[in-house]
Amino acid sequence: MYVKDVAASTEFYEKAVHLEVSEQRGDKVFLRGGMPHHWIAIQLAPVGKAPGLAALGIEVKGKAALDEVAEKLRARGIPFRAGDGLEAERVAHSIHFDDPSGNPLTVYTDMVSMPTPPAPRRVEFLDIQHVVLLVGDIDRAVDFYGDVLGMRVSDWFEHTTAFMHFANGWHHGIGLGSGMGRGTSGLNHICFHTPDLDTTMRARATVQRLGLKITSDLLKHGPSTSTGFYFQGPDTIIENSFGARWFDVDQPHTPRILPRTRESVDVHWAGLENLELGYLKTERHDTIPAG
């Protein structure tokens, strides 16, 4: 992640996202939530560049799988470069390239593993479950992530957002959104995976105690069935959620096309369209300023 203030963002990820600093190398701070060396790395945004995505890391199993991705990029005429290795990136092998919308990606294998688990935390996450990226052309993006990275579409929000899953089976590891009024590339949010409702509520209480803005409070998504909340960080929006659908990747799956409505974003709103209290409606009308 590119950030505007490394110290402030480090404090945010430690206190609000419950991660632990694993190492600092040069201008990069690495933070983890499990045995892998890091879940996220932050560094100061270059002059003239806004805070946001520096590169989305995607793990593959082994050098052969990494070479296969590189070959698919060559076949598409997409330039890429080899990574800087263990010394700088804390992974054995990696390649760096952009998706068709210009979102920077790093595909890697064999990350350094830490010798001991993180210290016990008030809230412990299972992993980063997904990110949502902005894209300019949804069809090109879906084709690219499907062909080059082997992802599959789980569901659609009409023809504006595609939820795509990796081989680990979670409903979406990457969401691709277009026409969202926020540009044609960049990071929309990061979701950290909680194991259950109790952990989610502890995470929410922490956010409230820290005085951070909750941008979308407890809701249950129609596509993934996950329950969680969103809050504003210094550089991006963070989601904490649990209960996402899981696919057996060997079983056939037909993606659904869901309407982009409030009820699809939060299924608990279904059936409430005409629900109101007459006396509250009257009170609201009575208190409208005259001029």
Per-residue pLDDT of 241-258, as tens digits, reads 999 998 887 788 899 999
Prediction pTM value: 0.92
| Residue 209 to residue 251: CA distance in whole angstroms | 44
Confidence of residue 288 (pLDDT cuts 50, 70, 90): very low
Q: Specify the higher pLDDT residue, 283 or 169.
A: 169
Confidence of residue 84 (pLDDT cuts 50, 70, 90): confident
pLDDT for the residue 85: 85
What residues does CATH 3.10.180.10 cover in the chain? 2-111, 127-269
Average pLDDT on 19-30 reads 95
Confidence of residue 289 (pLDDT cuts 50, 70, 90): very low
pLDDT for the residue 283: 57
The yes-or-no verdict on residue 36 having pLDDT over 90 is: yes
> Which fold, 127-269?
2,3-Dihydroxybiphenyl 1,2-Dioxygenase; domain 1 (3.10.180)
| Residue 95 to residue 82: CA distance in whole angstroms | 4
pLDDT for the residue 257: 96
Strands (E), the chain: 2-3, 20-25, 28-32, 40-44, 56-59, 81-82, 91-98, 104-111, 127-134, 152-157, 161-165, 174-177, 186-193, 214-220, 227-232, 237-242, 256-258
Is 3.10.180.10 the CATH number for 2-111?
yes
The yes-or-no verdict on residue 286 having pLDDT over 50 is: no
Q: In 77-117, which ranges are continuous DSSP H helix?
A: 85-89
pLDDT for the residue 180: 66
Low-confidence winner among 68-82, 150-164, 225-239, 246-260 (lowest mean pLDDT): 246-260
pLDDT for the residue 282: 61
Low-confidence winner among 118-127, 148-157, 248-257, 275-284 (lowest mean pLDDT): 275-284
As a whole-number percent, the residues of the chain with pLDDT over 70 amount to 96
